[in-house]
Chain A
Amino acid sequence: MSILITTVEIFVLIYSDNYMSHDEGYLRFFAFMSLFNTSMLGLVTSLNLIQIYIFLELVGMCSYLLISFWFTRPAAANACQKAFVTNRIGDFGLLLGILGFYWIMGSFEFQDLFEIFNNLIYNNEVHFLFVTLCASLLFAGAVAKSAQFPLHVWLPDAMEGPTPISTLIHAATMVAAGIFLVACLLPLFIVIPYIMNLISLIGIITVLLGATLALAQKDIKRGLAYSTMSQLGYMMLALGMGSYRAALFHLITHAYSKALLFLATKSIIHSMEAIVGYSPEKRQNMVFMGGLRKHVPITQIAFLVGTLSLCGIPPLACFWSKDEILSDSWLYSPIFAIIAWSTAGLTAFYMFRIYLLTFEGHLNVHFQKYSGKKSSSFYSIKLWGKEKQKIINRNFRLFPLLTMNNNEQPYTIGGKKEALITITNFGYKKAFSYPHELDNIMLFPMLILLLFTLFVGAIAIPFNQEGMHLDILSKLLTPSINLLHQNSNDFEDSYQFFKNVTFSVSIACFRIFTTFFLYKPFYSSLQN
């Protein structure tokens, strides 16, 4: 777990060094990032409920500070508050759960908790309802942190922050904190079947919700946010089923793939900035993208690998983990399994939708027929001078380094002091600029992550029961309890394994093809 965090951290730091180099708030950004790193590492190395609580809160605070990094945008201001309050609600539940358990057990240490708890359960001395309540409260903390179903609302809005933040916090690490919490407390939860059911239920709801919401997103980062939510649901589902190893494995693989995807997204956005300006409504809007394959090939490869990995295509990383979860879900409950499998297909679908919209086809900016939600804004790009306030984007193109503290788009009228005429001249030039590739420094971490994504799946190839990461985990906690593997040895039988595998892969491929069919003709029809 620590390896995961530190490696992702390093890459994001390198990346954001370049990204933020022209930003005024550079210092602040790195201060917050370091604080976040500290909290995260503290979180995964704590053996104590109170310590975990402390670090969870700190992580929440760092997330607040980082989301609000460009705080002059009102959307960011609202988003960060939402994130913090939602996290606080979770922490409230967590605190109550901690206190409840303290009251019963009289201790905070994990070891003591588990021992005493097991004794109490076996001797039937404890009030079951109360214990269930406390455990569900503890779980509530994880729900908020990992953006599970009721408390997931902060995650898409959290994309207001800079993309390295999104990478770090909302793809790889902080949302993992919740999963980590549940995994730590899993020996506690296992004895209470209601809680396990609750966990898997919430997990599956999140999976479905995230996937369906991701289908309808226009914004790249939001789409990825929902996809994160969905994958987190998978992890939670796995935890609820008791297959602790699969959940953590998926956590690791997903973290790498998502980090890769987010960094690639950043490079895309960066290239789009050159065209459509600085406002995130435009530059993250997938509608305007398309056909970037020619312009940003390396990013495209990275994105493709990330997407394939996330969809569960062998031999990339997420395939192994997701497959483990999916096959475990068959053993747990058929309904969940069906939902999980179909959502895996949905995953493939929306991921490839994103990929195709971004990279294939032709650059949509040149098309005039797009009638999106803000049609006026679109027109303003092509037909300069129609919408006055959106022209301001042009300013930022011209003076990227001279803007005041990097605010995206001042929503007041104060900025439109410029005369329109000067702008239109520049507008002409812009139509012929192309999205450009990233600097090398930003490419480098992306490539490393790419490699990781390819090969991290090798950690726990199920031909051998013990994955490498199991050792790490068992150092931190008591040996894992893998409920389902005790019951069935489904990986000993290679044939069974391949059957499962092919089924899941075929679902994924089927969806991919569906996506192709749906989106390809969309483009070809628009070719003037």
Chain B
Amino acid sequence: MCNLPIRVICRANAEYMSPSGKVPFIHVGNQVVSELGPIVQFVKAKGHSLSDGLDEVQKAEMKAYMELVNNMLLTAELYLQWCDDVTVEEITHPRYGSPYPWPLNRILSYQKQWEVRRKMKAIGWAGKTLEQVLEDVDQCCQALSQRLGTQPYFFNKQPTELDALVFGHLFTILTTQLITDELSEKVKNYSNLTAFCRRIEQQYFEGHDKDSCTVSVQSSKKSSLLK
């Protein structure tokens, strides 16, 4: 969205390469910056920002909605991948352990699962059932849908970091194959959100070569959300 030239590379040890242990991260020159917040700050320091045109109240709202997405959507995705037994067995373990030989693949994925479950417990999500998680996702999508309304982007004409973040999550939810379609159905209930995703996909991702310039800074997030 900032029109910066980037290349997306998928690596099995991406989490370990990242300074904070979290993906996504960008590698620029001799600097490595991880997680969305710092990446945005970094890019802003270099003179590129999507939210300069917003007033103070709008900036506050943007930050709040980004937290909402992180709080609800990200946690729900993690929950579904690591705390729902069926999904864990059939999809997550094989996928997470795929780059490694046996028994390392099982060990690493159990370790990750244990880590995620501990975190879920700390934030109070461990006691939730799948239905409750889906209910939360629905509430979140409803809030996003209401905020978006009929506008092309969340803050009317220009995309901002919030648009990038929301796109990243929704696109992944809509396009990732899971055991059931319940999660993506929740998003599909809101037609303006699916239209929003399609619009961004067309504008920023289609009709371009893999290695060419105009790819969103957020696309690296897209591919690594699957981890």
Report if A and B associate in a common complex.
no
Q: What residues of chain B have their CB less than 8 Å away from a CB belonging to chain A?
A: none
